[in-house]
Structure 1
Amino acid sequence: MKKQFHVVGAIIENEQKEIFCALRGPDMSLAGFWEFPGGKIETGETPEEALVREIKEEFNCEIEVREKVEDTTYEYEDVMVRLETFKAKLIAREPIATEHAEVRWISRDEIRYLNFAPADVPAVEKISKKQ
């Protein structure tokens, strides 16, 4: 049986209606893919708590988690991933990349042109349709 992971991702939108996206670095799994930032849910955490913690650890900023956008299960070659994606609002400090190769604020029109990790694609499709 494949290893299973339950992870969360944040769709952080700024005042200009741009979405924060992160490029996975060469030392990370799925290197070279873009993603909505987030990470694994630890034992005893809610998805929302995990998202706040992960964003603080990886990007040194604080968010407020809002409504759920997507709940996707994707089977990669060696693992099964359940990704819950939430809208989020930046409430303290601009995010800075500490682990990722690159970060960008992208318009909803342009977001579909980035090479997103497969588990993120359903959320990308959903938000790129909304203006």
Structure 2
Amino acid sequence: MKTINVVAAVIQKDDKILATQRGYGEFKDGWEFPGGKIETGETPAEALIREIKEELNADIKVKHELGVVEYDYPNFHLNMQCFLCSLVSDELTLLEHEAMKWLTAATMDKIDWLPADVEMAKKVQKLLQSSL
């Protein structure tokens, strides 16, 4: 089975975390942490900065890794490195997603996360409850 290596940004603003809703493809309408594929020669942090610029027209600061999610979809294996990030400025523009939400610990489980993002969403929810 093919492995796809991606990075995901857990963008924190105060006591909230950003979730984005996919606007295209097989997983359209599912909620996820924004990010994408690592290109040849990029570090995970460089890929994340580029992806967030491409998807949200936003600049981020990558703080530290929160963990790696390994998930088997029917047609591929996903390896997703997740990083805690903050916005350099508060401006976001949805360029690839159809919606976004700022979630608190109390609302993290109120959306339909994509399967690979569920595990990290639960971890982030617990971290928020204990002050990420």
Alignment partner of 1:13 is 2:12: yes
- The aligned counterpart of 1:99 is 96
Give unpaired runs (5+ residues) of structure 1. none
Cα distance, 1:93 vs structure 2: 4.3
Give unpaired runs (5+ residues) of structure 2. none
TM-score (norm 2): 0.92
- The aligned counterpart of 1:38 is 35
Aligned length: 128
TM-score (norm 1): 0.92
Structure 1 Cα separation of the partners of residues 83 and 2 of structure 2: 24
- The aligned counterpart of 1:23 is 21
Cα distance, 1:67 vs structure 2: 1.2
Cα distance, 1:79 vs structure 2: 1.1
- Percent identical residues: 38
Segments of 4+ moved more than 6 angstroms: none
Which residue type is aligned with residue 115 of structure 1? D
Q: Cα RMSD between the aligned structures?
A: 1.1
Cα distance, 1:29 vs structure 2: 3.0
String of CA shifts for 1:83-102, please: whole Å, max 9, x gaps.
01100010034211111111
- The aligned counterpart of 2:111 is 114
